[in-house]
Amino acid sequence: MSAAAGTSVPPSGRRPRSLAQRHPGLVRLLWSLLALTLLPAMLLVVERVRGEGAEQRVAIVMDEIALAEQASYLGTDALTLGLHYQTLGLSGIALYEDTVETAANKGRLAALLGREAHAVAALLGEPPPPVAADATLVRPLVPGAADRLRTNTDAAPTTLTMGGEAWYAWPGDSFRTRPVGVDRAQVEAWAAAGFEIAYRPRNFPGLRGVGSDYPPEARYLIYAGLQVAGHPNALGEVIEVSQNYLTAVIEGTPQDGMPQVAGRVPTVRLLSFNQDYLNQRLRPTEVVEKYLLAANERNVRLFYLRPYTEEQLGDMVANTEALVRELRRALEREGFTVGDLALLDVDYVPSPALRLGAALGVLIGLALLGLAFPAPWGLLAAAAVALMALLATGISWAAPALMAAIVFPVLGFALLRHRPFALLGATGVSLIGAVLLVAVGSDRASMLAIEPFAGVAATLVLPPALMAAQLLLRWHRPATWVRTLWGYRVRLGDVAIALVVVAVLALVVIRRGNFPILAATEAELALRSALADLFVRPRFKELVGHPLALLALFNPRWPAWATGPLLVAGVIAQASILNSFSHYHTPVLISLQRTLIALAIGLLLGLVLVPLVRLLVFAIRRWLEADARGGDVATEQ
C-alpha cells in the first residue's frame, strides 16, 4: 500500500505535506509489520468463532404475573391460560419469589399493618400489640409458609400473640418488598404441566441463605428488580448456588451485582419488553421482528414474553396468541430449535500472548494515523487518541480495542490514493482494524455483554472528526485557517451547509443504540424489514456513507469544500463497520456478513448516484450559464 496522493487541490497557497508523503518507506514498513500482527489476531478470531459455536437453540418463557393479570380479565387462572398458549408454542414460565403481599393474596399467609393489628386487637377486646402503626405482621396459614421468611434476613422478627395465635412482626411497611421464598405448590404445578421454569428471586437488605430454596425444577435464574439477590454482601453465596442454573443477563437493564456474578456462573442473554411499551406501542409482528433480530445478530437465547394486558392495539388474547404463534414459527424458519437451553455458555479464553500481538497491531495503526497528518499534528492526534482511550477504559485490553475502533476507519481514506474504487481499499483497512479489535477485546465477559464496549459514542464521532482535521491540515496550516476564517464573510449558503453538517453529525450520535433518542422513520423501518427478510440487516450509516464516498472519489476535480464532507461521510460509514464488530455479543460472522452486504449495496447505490449527480450538476451549470448569457444580452440592450 502506498502513501496517499490526497484529494482536491487546496483553495490557495502551498499545500502542506503529510509525514506519510515525506517518509513513504516508513509507511511501507509499518504496513508490513501490521500485516504480521494479523497472524496472532486471526488465530484469536478463529478461536472465538469456534467458541461461539453453532448452537441454535432458544428458549421462550412468559411472565406469570402478567399472565395472571390477563387471566383475571377472562375469569380463569394463569395455569389454564398458560396451557392454551403452550399449544401455540410457549415452552416456559417465569415464576417470581413470593413477597408478603403475594403470599397473602394466595392465602398462604395472613398479613396486617400495625395499625390494622391495633384495630383487630380492639375488636377482640385485647390490648394493642406493641408495634408501630406501619409495622408488618405475618401469620402462616399454610404449614411452613413463614419458615423461610423468619430466617432469611439479618433482622429477626418479634413474636407476639394476638387472638390466641402467634404473629411475627418487623418494623416498617415491607409488604411488597420482603421476600417470603418459593411457592413450592406453584412450581410443581407448572413443572408437571410440562413448562420449563425460570425462577425470579428478589433482593432485600441483609438477605441470608441466598439460594437455599431455589427450586431444582428451574432452569433459569432471572433476578427481579435492579439488583441481584444477595447484593452486596452475599454474592459469594449467589455464585455457589447458581452453578446449575443459567443466570440471565438482561439486555438494557443493568442490575447491581451482575458484573461480579455473571463472570463466575453460567449465563444466557435475555431480551424482554416493558409491559406498558408492549401494550401501547408494539404490535405482535414488530415484537417478533425484534426478537428474531436479537437471536440472529446479538446472540440472545432467552426470550422473555409478556402477554398483552390492555387493548389499545386490539384484542389482548388475540394479540398474545399471534405473538406466541408467529414467534415460534419465525424462529423455526430461521433454523432455531425452541426448548431447554441446558448449560449454554460461552467457551472462549483468549491467549494473553496472542492478544498482545494484536494490541501491537493497533499501536502500529496509531503510528500510521500520526503519519497521515503534517508535522507536528500527527504526533498530537495519535497521542490524543491514546490518552482518550486510556482515560475511558483504564489500563486494560479495552484500551487498544477502543483505539482500533477510532483509528482504522480513518486510515483508508487518509493514506490510500483517492481513486474511483478506493472505497474497497478503505473497507479492507477497516476490516483489518476489526480483526484486531475482535482479537484484543474479546473475552467471555465482553461476549456476554457483562462488560460492554467502553467509548461507543467516541467510535462514531472521533473518526469523522479526525478525517476532517486531516483534510483541513493538508489544505492549509492552522495559522492560515485562523486568518482565513477570522476575516471570512459568512453567507446564507454557508450557514445552510454548516447546519446540514451539524444535523448529520448529531443524527449519528443520537441514533445509536437499541433505544435511540430519535426513532427511525416508517420508510427506514420498511427498508430495514425488507433487507432483513433477504439477509442480515446492514447498517443504515453504511448504506448512506458508502455512496457519498464514491461520489467524492469519482469526482476528484470537484472543489475541496465539496469532496471533503463527502469523504468525512465515508469515514462515518467505515466507523460504523468497526462499531458493528465492537458489539462483542454479536457473532463475528454476522458482523462480517452485514459489513459485506452494506458494502455491496453501497457500491450499487453509489454507481447509480454518481451519474445522476453529474447529470444534475451539468443541468444546473447549463441553466446558470444560460441565465448569465440572457443577463448579458439584456444589459447590452
Q: Mind listing the pLDDT tens digit for each residue in 445-464? A: 777 666 778 888 788 889 99
Classify residue 156 by its DSSP letter: P
Judged by DSSP in three states, 54 sits in coil
SS3 196: strand
How do beta strands 158-162 and 136-140 pair?
Answer: unpaired
Indicate the domain borders of the chain: 19-53+348-488+520-624, 57-97+182-338, 104-170
What is the four-CA torsion angle of 551, 554, 559, 563, rounded to 10 degrees? Answer: 40
The single-letter code of the amino acid at 180 is V
Question: Contact at 8 Å (CB) between 321 and 88?
Answer: yes
Residue 330 CA to residue 300 CA, distance in Å, equals: 15
φ/ψ of residue 151, rounded to 5: -120, 0
Phi, psi dihedrals of residue 81, rounded to the nearest 5°: -70, -35
Give the pLDDT confidence of 26-83 residue by residue, as tens digits. 999 999 999 999 999 999 999 888 877 555 789 999 999 999 999 999 999 999 999 9
Residues in the chain: 637
Amino acid (1-letter code) at residue 274: N
Q: How confident is the model at residue 598 (pLDDT cuts 50, 70, 90)?
A: very high
Residue in 404, 409, 407, 351 with CA at minimum distance from that of residue 381: 407
Q: What is the CA radius of gyration of the chain?
A: 31
Q: Is residue 270 exposed (0-12), middle (13-18) or buried (19+ Cβ within 10 Å)?
A: buried
pLDDT confidence of residue 196:
95
- Record the pTM: 0.68
Whether the upstream peptide bond of residue 232 has omega within 30° of 0, thus cis, is yes
- State the cell numbers at 437: 479489535
| DSSP classification of residue 95 | E
Could you report the per-residue pLDDT of 222-236, keeping only the tens digit for each?
A: 999 999 999 998 998
Query: How many angstroms separate the CA atoms of 571 and 588, rounded?
Result: 21
Task: Give the distance between the most distant pair of CA atoms in the chain.
Answer: 117
Q: What is the mean pLDDT of residues 612-632?
A: 77
CB atoms within 10 A of CB 365: 27
- Listed in sequence order, the residues at least 6 apart from 18 whose beta carbon sits closer than 8 Å to its beta carbon are 3, 4, 371, 372, 373, 374, 378, 470, 474
Round the average pLDDT of the chain to a whole number and report it: 85
- Amino acid 5: pLDDT: 41
CB 407 within 8 A of CB 455: no
**106 burial class (0-12, 13-18, 19+ CB within 10 angstroms)?**
middle
**Three state DSSP letters for 614-635:** HHHHHHHHHHHHHHHHHHHHHH
The better pLDDT of the pair 32, 341 is held by: 32
Contact 97, 67 (CB under 8 A): no
Mean pLDDT, residues 273-288: 93
CATH 2.40.128 fits 57-97+182-338, yes or no: no
**Residue range 9-14: average pLDDT?**
48
Crossing angle of helices 352-371 and 398-415, rounded to 10°: 40
Residue 360's pLDDT band (cuts 50, 70, 90) = very high
